[in-house]
Structure 1
Amino acid sequence: MKKIDVRDAVGMKLCHDITEMRDGFKGVAFKRNTVIRDEDVEHLLNIGKRHVFVWDESVMEVHEDDCALRLAAATAADGTHYEGPSEGKTVMTADREGLFIVDTDLLNEVNRIEDVTVTCLPNHYPVSEGMKLASMRIVPLTTKEENILRAESLCGQRHLFELLPYRKMKVGIIITGSEVYHGRIKDRFEPVLRAKLKKYPAEILGVTLCDDDVSMIADAARDHLAGGADFLIFTGGMSVDPDDLTPSAVRSLGAEVLSHGMPAQPGNMTLTAYLGDVAVLGVPGAAISLPVTTLDVLLPQIFTGRKFTRGDLIRIGCGGLCQRCVTCHYPNCTFGRY
């Protein structure tokens, strides 16, 4: 493209949209590829356009709209669609609920490319249908072909974005504590867990109350496993006191414990483990009294079937401190962004 005095542009094609603002209105006055006429010159001058950019066929560059479309194609993800381009941008939108996953290292590589900008929601963000997930554009009106080819090459090697759907899971709940088992106090965990699981395609197989007894707790878990559970939730007995036996019961089942204690608050003493492909969570008491804890951070990924690694749980430390706002806005906040 080339910059030219608007008075000399009659008969030439614009290579970009021209926006006009007047009386609270903002919109496109002249669209890309419009052939400028004599009567357009005054209009362009009146909206402050003394110069315009027109096509120069001798220069091998890619227009912003074409760049946006190519970037959208390179970063496409199942369960999403792109809208646009509009004003040089395309926008990725969710077609279903699920967990939005970003390859942050790849995103940084792409954004290092000259002129290219890709922005998105944070990694591990739970989304609903219709949410805007990502947008991309180039900064100038055109860029060198090689820049877009570089972005396409990088995104062709691995997924920049994924929208992982939630899958149906059969959940067994084991509530521990002698005070609850013997009826000294009323259990408050079950209604909390049922409310949180209602957000996901969960089938609750049953809720078992157990005394502070490793064998009883382990046997209850085995019963749920025999009933087809692929997700076990244990509550109570999660601290480091000698009579808090739930972690010992989980280990006695042969589970691989990734972490008992996480760099996140509230929910520091959460236990995360796997028994083969069965996800196992030990939920501390904070989940009863606070609206959002590490339980809320972990549930979305568990329901995608994607396993945590020890590294995932460590990374939660950056973003793992809840601000305990008067009005909770989770997940539209910093908590649990890892």
Structure 2
Amino acid sequence: MKTVPIEQALGHRLAYDVTEVTPTTVQSIITKGTLIEKRHLSLLRNAGHTLIYIEEDGLLEDGQDLIQEGPASFAIAQALAGSQVTIKKADSGKTLLLAKTEGLVKIQTDTCHWVNHTDVALVISKPSLSVVRTQELVAVVDLIPLTVSTVSLSNIIKHIGNPGFAIDIRPFLPLTVGLLITGTEVYEGRIPDAVAPIVQKQVQMYGGTQGTVQIVPDDEDLIVSALHSMVEEHDVVIVTGGMSVDPTDRTPFAIRRVADTVLKYGIPLLPNAMSMVAQKGETVILGISSGLVYYQQENILDKLLPLVFAQEPITREYLVSLGIGGLMPSFTKNFTKIHTP
């Protein structure tokens, strides 16, 4: 690869993609390998290029073979990608990682951070534990220089390869979800239930099946009895209502009596902070506060159900970590209207 004034590049092949950036477009105007002709000169000048790289026979630097950006980024992407990720070449030497299936993004952040520390390559991805649909972009691998030595590239790939699969997707599974609605006012018909349609819609988003829907009053023993039945028949049980510290609210106590483990009561997330995550055998129990009725478009289920359907274990550490960034837009948008006297 050699640097020359554009006028001296006539008859030579371009060694990289030349990109033009305007207020409305970002595009490659001349691609790598193009034979430079007179018609290209005005394009280059308009894009601000007076010097360009042209191809030479053999790529060497300090006696080491060099790999160009496209093949190098592709090799790094191959090392990073898990079995549920497709790799695709893009322009400007980038390589794209796309989801083969709907699911939960899993990123080994330490590995990706290490690559970004090399100052040779960049791994730019969606956040770990975010939701992606089939063929959605998960990550981009980009090279900083136009070339990298085979030794440097080999070292990067070797580091990634242990443990490997640094970027992958955990597919959503077709789980069955039971819904237990608590509240004497709903049980007695004083007010209509508003929860079931909200939960059913969110369950369907992840390919789940809505199982039994049952309404019980604010009676701890009745909640316990219904919950025992539901955990035997469903992969997941969502319990709504009666989750606060009001004396009539008995749902947290009932869940504790049924569950083998309560991971956390009180999740640092708004809305729905007065919620609970528990486990009975293989069945996940989610106790969700009644704020679900008001915050229908965005709520705590958006943070919990993706992990549940991907069968990614929900840990106490994960729940605690939700506090940083836990003010969801649905809450902050309505905060003044709801909480200001």
Q: TM-score per shorter chain, which class? A: 0.7 to 0.9
Letter in 2 for 1:163: I
Is residue 47 from structure 1 mapped to residue 57 from structure 2 by the alignment? no
What is the aligned-residue identity percentage?
29
Hey, what does 1:270 align to over in structure 2? Answer: 275
Is residue 76 from structure 1 mapped to residue 81 from structure 2 by the alignment? yes
Is residue 2 from structure 1 mapped to residue 7 from structure 2 by the alignment? no
User: Which deviates more, 145-154 or 299-308?
Assistant: 145-154
Question: Which residue of 49, 57, 60 maps to 1:58?
Answer: 60
Hey, what does 1:32 align to over in structure 2? Answer: 32
Hey, what does 1:120 align to over in structure 2? Answer: 125
Per-residue Cα deviation, 1:135-193 (whole angstroms, up to 9, x for no partner): 11112211233432233223211332121111011212111122222222222222221
Is residue 135 from structure 1 mapped to residue 140 from structure 2 by the alignment? yes
Hey, what does 1:159 align to over in structure 2? Answer: 165
Compared CA separation, residues 44 and 19, structure 1 to 2 (3 A): farther
Per-residue Cα deviation, 1:223-270 (whole angstroms, up to 9, x for no partner): 2233x3111111111112233211111111133011110111001011
Gaps of 5+ in 1: 329-338
Instruction: Give the secondary-structure state (helix, strand or coil) at the position aligned to 1:198.
Output: helix
In the TM superposition, what is the alpha-carbon distance from 1:204 to its structure 2 partner?
Answer: 2.2
Instruction: Give the secondary-structure state (helix, strand or coil) at the position aligned to 1:205.
Output: strand
Gaps of 5+ in 2: 335-341
Compared CA separation, residues 171 and 13, structure 1 to 2 (3 A): same
User: Which deviates more, 197-206 or 229-238?
Assistant: 197-206
Letter in 1 for 2:317: G
Instruction: Give the secondary-structure state (helix, strand or coil) at the position aligned to 2:119.
Output: coil
CA distance in 2, matches of 1:171, 1:50: 63
In the TM superposition, what is the alpha-carbon distance from 1:318 to its structure 2 partner?
Answer: 1.5
Retained in 2: the 8 A contact 1:117–1:137? Answer: yes
Hey, what does 2:313 align to over in structure 1? Answer: 307
In the TM superposition, what is the alpha-carbon distance from 1:321 to its structure 2 partner?
Answer: 0.5
CA distance in 2, matches of 1:176, 1:215: 12
Aligned-residue Cα RMSD (Å) equals 2.7
Hey, what does 1:199 align to over in structure 2? Answer: 205
CA distance in 1, matches of 2:81, 2:275: 35
Kindly indicate which of the two structures has a greater share of residues assigned to helix. 2
CA distance in 1, matches of 2:240, 2:152: 53
Per-residue Cα deviation, 1:111-151 (whole angstroms, up to 9, x for no partner): 11122111111222112223221111112211233432233
User: Which deviates more, 274-283 or 135-144?
Assistant: 135-144
TM-score normalised according to structure 2 size: 0.85
Instruction: Give the secondary-structure state (helix, strand or coil) at the position aligned to 1:190.
Output: helix
Compared CA separation, residues 93 and 31, structure 1 to 2 (3 A): same
Compared CA separation, residues 258 and 325, structure 1 to 2 (3 A): closer
Letter in 1 for 2:60: S
Retained in 2: the 8 A contact 1:114–1:147? Answer: no
Compared CA separation, residues 225 and 113, structure 1 to 2 (3 A): same
User: Which deviates more, 257-266 or 86-95?
Assistant: 86-95
CA distance in 1, matches of 2:82, 2:230: 36
